[in-house]
Structures are given as C-alpha cells and as structure tokens.
Amino acid sequence: MSIENFIRENYVDFKRTDSVKWDGLKDKFGHEDLLPLWVADMDFKAPKEVQEALMKRIEHGVFGYSFAGESYYEAFINWQKKRHGIHVEKEWLRFTTGVVNSFNFLIQALSQEEESVIILAPVYYPFFDAVKNNRRRLVVSNLVESKGHYTIDFEDFEEKIRQNKVKVFLHCSPQNPVGRIWKKEELEKLFNICQKYQVKIISDEIHQDFIQPGKEFVSALSVGNEYLEDIAVLTSSSKSFNLASLLHSHVIIPSEAVRIIYDKHVQTVINNPDSLMGMIATEAAYTSGEQWLDDLIDVIELNFKVMKEKITEELPHVVIAEKEATYLAWVDLSYYIEKSEMVSVIQDKAKLAIDYGEWFDENSSGFIRINLATKTENIEKAVDQLVASIKLK
C-alpha cells in the first residue's frame, strides 16, 4: 500500500475521545491549542484484522476470566522467530498489564530496598521512576554522543557497577529516545560485565518492531545462551499496533530459577495479569498485521526524512540523532535555544506539545523528542512552526 493510501485509510482525529495525547494537553502542558507530538502512541487505527477479532469477541458477549490458548503462543513465538530471529519457549512466557508494570515487578523481585539499579541515559523516563519509587538506589551511566550518534562508555558502566554493588541493569533496547539498535558486540560487552558482578538484566524491548529498513534488531535473547540465566525480556504489541489501552504485555524469562522468584513475587502485586481483549488483539496482530506494520514503518521513515531535511535546511546547527529504530526523533536544539527558553519557544510560540529532553536525562535539557507516528502533514506543520519560532525569538 502506498504511504498516501495508508495515511488516508488509517489516520484518525483523536480529539474529544478522552485521548491522553490529544485531550490531555491542558493537564500536561497548560495549553489546549498545541499540536501533540509527545506521548508515544500513534494517530493510526489498529489493523482491520485486529478490529475484526475484537468485534467478533464483542458479539460473542462473554468477557469472563480467560487464559492464553495454544494459538496465542504459536502466534507470538512465530512472530518473534520470523520478524527478529528470536527463539522463545512457551514456558518462558508470562503476562502483565504493561511493560512499565513488568520492569517495576522485576526490580522488586530481583533486588531489595536500598540496593542499586543501573540504567543508561538518556532513557525513557519511567526507568528513573521505577528505581526511585521502589526505593532502590539509582545509578546512571551516561551514553556518549558524537554528532547524533550514541555509544556506551563501558569503563564507566563497569566502574559504577563495581562501586555501587549494582544488582540489576534496567536496559532499553532499542534505546528510547536516541533510537539506537545495540549491536551484538555491544550487548556482549554489557552482559559480560553484568555476569562478572552477578547483575541481573531486564531488557525492555517494546520498540523491537520499529526497525529502520535494512537494519537488524538484536534481542538480549539472541546474544548467547550463556547469558540466558541472567535475562528477562519485556515486549508488547501495544507500541507496534497502537493497543496500549488494552493492557497486555509479555515477560520472557528463560531461567527457571528466575521464573520461580518472579512468580512468587508477582502473586503479591497482581491477581489477574491476563487481559482478554489484549490477548485477542495481539494474536490477530501477530497473525495478520505484518503488512500493516511494514506500511506504517514506511510512513515513519518518510516523516523522519521530511523532518530532518526541513530542519537541516533551515537550522543547520540542529543535531538530529541517527534514528535506527523507534518512531521517535531525538533533536538537539541547544545551539539555538537556552534551557530557560525551551517552554516559551516550543509551547508558547511554536504551539507544539513534545517530550522535553530533561525528562530523559538531566544533561539533555536542550533536546526534544518528537513523535513521528502521525500523518506527514502534521510533521511538516510542526517543523514549520518550530523553525519560525526559533528564527523570530
């Protein structure tokens, strides 16, 4: 399907639908007249096959307690194998109501209060919250940026683990917001350090399906069998197919010993982790949604190209991260905008609702994160408004 046809058939105006992204602007930003390119959900309908599967269940009319059937496991396992070359066993799989909930549960299960958890920043801001809110000690190893390309400071990572006696590494792969796909060699170095100091690894791989054409995602599960005893991987269809409110995600734990620890703990924090409608939608998406997703990725890549070309032409000192994955753009405006001016320029003048860089890392106050999962017209409008507001400030 052409990009124009995909947008025409799938783009939806979410205003006045109690959408956090569109109708929550006043509460989050203090303004209602902003173009929302912030929270990471999409302005596109889920695939028709997903909608039809949900409607079939609605017509059935019974919504009682349910579990994942064999066809669900087959769809999930086949998707991971075909799309990413990942091997998953049925018994490794657990469910929760969301990836953020999952890494909170795992932090609780795999560490004690006042023990240390390490993250690589800039990173999705609930990572910080999960560590602090669970009364663990937050340890941050900052990524190294060079002209929009981010790498890991392995010496700093290891030294901070050693000094702080870290128990858990909360990992983001692909990395949100900088858009990196971590190479196998990079993951091996990280995991070897973790094994050396007996650090458990939680790998949030929710953006695994948004991989730039020509690039290859490497899951923590694919790095080597020698690491599987120390790894828990988190995924969901919620990002890939715009299903966040159906509250369904996966926890993949290869280690039987870790599964026992996790299962024992999760019984104390969640009674029924299975979302019937989430499972129905996810199975349909993994069974029939591949072409829809490929068409969507074409839209994302076009939007990124349009955004980058327009910004680079008008504001040549802006640095845009080399997006290899996700549907998010990480943009450094610090050459043009002081930290104290960010809200005034972005919200008051450009009339944009975006995610501010300081939410992801205290050292990224000059950055913004732009959600590209919308129609191209919105991206063009946003860039025009941003450029105009910077040039007139």
Condensed to tens digits (0 to 9), the pLDDT of residues 59-89 reads: 999 999 999 999 999 999 999 999 999 999 9
Clarify whether residues 22 and 7 are in a common domain. Answer: yes
Q: Which of 262, 287, 312 is the last residue of a domain?
A: 287
Digit-coded pLDDT (tens) for 181-228 = 999 999 999 999 999 999 999 999 999 999 999 999 999 999 999 999
Is residue 93 located within the same domain as residue 215? yes
User: Tokens in use for 61?
Assistant: 């009319």
| CA distance to 11, 102, 321, 375, per residue, from 326 (Å) | 19, 20, 12, 16
Do 12 and 132 share a structural domain? no
Q: What is the mean pLDDT of the chain?
A: 97
The radius of gyration computed from the CA coordinates of the chain, to the nearest angstrom, equals: 21
One domain for residues 36 and 125: no
Residues 6 or more apart whose Cβ sits within 8 Å of residue 71 = 283
Do 295 and 283 belong together in one domain? no
Same domain flag for 122 and 236: yes
Residue 301 · residue 293 · CB < 8 Å: no
Among 253, 287, 321, the domain-final residue is 287
Q: What is the mean pLDDT of residues 29-52?
A: 96
- pLDDT for position 392: 83
Over pLDDT 70: what percentage of the chain? 100
The sign of the CA dihedral 212, 368, 378, 32 is positive
> Which residues form the domain of 224?
51-287
Give yes or no: residues 323 and 274 share one domain: no
Residue-level pLDDT at 1: 86
Mean pLDDT of 18-39: 95
CB 23 within 8 A of CB 15: yes
Is residue 381 packed enough to be buried (19+ CB in 10 Å), middle (13-18) or exposed (0-12)? middle
The whole-angstrom separation of Cα 324 and Cα 215 is 7
pLDDT at 271 over 90: no
What residue spans of 122-164 are helical by DSSP H?
126-133, 154-164
Report which residue type is found at 10: N
* 215 and 305 inside one domain: no
Residue 18: CATH number of its domain? 3.90.1150.10
**Per-residue pLDDT reduced to its tens digit, 148-163:** 999 999 999 999 999 9
- With a cut of 70, say whether residue 393 has pLDDT above it: no
**CATH number of the domain that residue 277 is part of:** 3.40.640.10
Q: Is 351 helix (H, G, I), strand (E, B) or coil?
A: coil
- pTM score: 0.96
Angle of helix 256-266 versus helix 99-110 axis, rounded to 10: 100
| Angstrom distance (rounded) from CA 374 to CA 353 | 14
Of 230, 255, 287, which residue constitutes the final position of a domain? 287
Average pLDDT for residues 369-391, to the nearest whole number? 97
| Domain match, 384 and 237 both | no
SS3 of residue 123 by DSSP: coil
CA distance 110 to 208: 24
Q: CA-to-CA distance for 272 and 65, rounded, in angstroms? A: 9
**SS3 call for 367:** strand
How many structural domains compose the chain? 2
